[in-house]
Structure 1
């Protein structure tokens, strides 16, 4: 039954399939290869088996995979706000080497450094994420306009 709920996460199969479709569309828009997709999600197996997620099989509903999905979706959102008039720029940005990433591309940082690489890339793209990560709290003065 497609609406049964996973007791540990509270996500239904339909929710999980929607998440999987969104992630696969995002990866496709980024022009990623199956090996890159698997590395970003920290999934084991053969690249050719990754196509099963395009055909109604949900991504694993593990904390590690879902955390990575959340970071990747936030990176995608930040790319959309950074380049609002050119949606294809995000795809290019991900592969462009930069001094901000020690002369590596953001994609290679995320693949090579895993979750920490995603956090690093996201903190460079989204200042609100970086602010939250720093543990900073707004002072009463900073709330004044």
Structure 2
């Protein structure tokens, strides 16, 4: 993200937060999903008020997974944005009867990878074959 301007980073931050809002993830849990769980509660407000996300490898890795999850949901449900929110909040056997949103909050980066792998079979195939 370092090659992005400040304005582009702010736009990316707003887009990510808007997406998490659409999925029904609370502000506190948004910070957790983004790897900022130790940040004070006011951090989410500051991010919404034109502070960009930290440009750290951990945060950017999470942002990449979130963007790919959103992309996979758009591919899976091309005619209904609402279906993505419904899917994110429906208990799923793959996630031990938890919702995908809860899985991302409770399991951190592993949860993000699990949700992304479930939705994006090419990503799942890539990570399983890259270790061979």
Task: Report the TM-score, using the length of structure 2 for normalisation.
Answer: 0.89
Give the Cα–Cα distance (whole angstroms) in 2 for the partners of residues 20 and 87 of structure 1: 20
- Residue 42 (str. 1) matches residue 35 (str. 2): yes
Gaps of 5+ in 1: 1-5, 137-145
Give the Cα–Cα distance (whole angstroms) in 2 for the partners of residues 11 and 24 of structure 1: 18
Match of 1:141 in 2: none
Give the Cα–Cα distance (whole angstroms) in 2 for the partners of residues 49 and 66 of structure 1: 17
- Report if aligned partners of 2:74, 2:81 keep a CA contact under 8 Å in 1: yes
Q: Which runs of 4+ in 1 moved over 3 A?
A: none
Match of 2:47 in 1: 53
Superposition CA RMSD, Å? 1.6
Q: Which has the larger radius of gyration?
A: 1
* Cα displacement (A) at 1:135: 1.8
Gaps of 5+ in 2: none
Q: Matched residue of 1:88: which SS?
A: helix
- Residue 114 (str. 1) matches residue 108 (str. 2): yes
* Cα displacement (A) at 1:89: 1.1
* Cα displacement (A) at 1:23: 0.7
Q: Matched residue of 1:17: which SS?
A: helix
* Cα displacement (A) at 1:99: 0.9
Considering fraction of residues, name the structure with more helix. 2
* Cα displacement (A) at 1:46: 3.0
Give the Cα–Cα distance (whole angstroms) in 1 for the partners of residues 11 and 100 of structure 2: 26
Match of 1:31 in 2: 24
- Report if aligned partners of 1:35, 1:47 keep a CA contact under 8 Å in 2: yes
* Cα displacement (A) at 1:12: 2.4
Larger RCO of the pair (alpha carbons < 8 Å, separation 6+): 2
- Report if aligned partners of 1:94, 1:105 keep a CA contact under 8 Å in 2: yes
